[in-house]
């Protein structure tokens, strides 16, 4: 899990491109998913603060956040890939 601090540093980079932010967020989340050591490493590196700021990024196309459907359908039912 030694790479986690570098991934989180990429999330914190002020001049990071939207693509770099998406890739860093995906990497951080993949480390955190399924393995306790990975989740703790991501939390210890301070990723949560950076991840929760992504929806407010000035380039709003940098992260896709599925919106809830008022009819209760899942994202795939609405034609989204997620």
Mean pLDDT score of the chain: 77
pLDDT value at residue 63? 54
For residues 42 and 31, the answer to whether their CB atoms sit within 8 Å is yes
- For the stretch 42-69, pLDDT in tens is 999 999 888 888 777 776 555 555 555 5
Distance CA 39, CA 56 (A): 24
Domain boundaries, the chain: 4-59
Predicted pLDDT at 82: 46
Distance CA 82, CA 78 (A): 10
pTM of the model: 0.65
Judge contact between 3 and 23, C-beta under 8 A. Answer: no
Average of per-residue pLDDT across 71-82: 53
What is residue 51's predicted lDDT score, i.e. its pLDDT?
84
């Amino acid at each position: 899990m030694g790479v986690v601090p570098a991934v989180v540093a990429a999330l914190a980079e002020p001049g990071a491109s939207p693509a770099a932010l998406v890739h860093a967020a995906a990497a951080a989340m993949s480390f955190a998913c399924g393995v306790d050591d990975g989740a703790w490493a991501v939390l210890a590196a301070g990723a949560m603060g950076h991840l929760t700021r992504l929806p407010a990024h000035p380039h709003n196309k940098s992260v896709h956040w599925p919106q809830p459907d008022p009819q209760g359908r899942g994202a795939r039912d609405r034609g989204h890939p997620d």
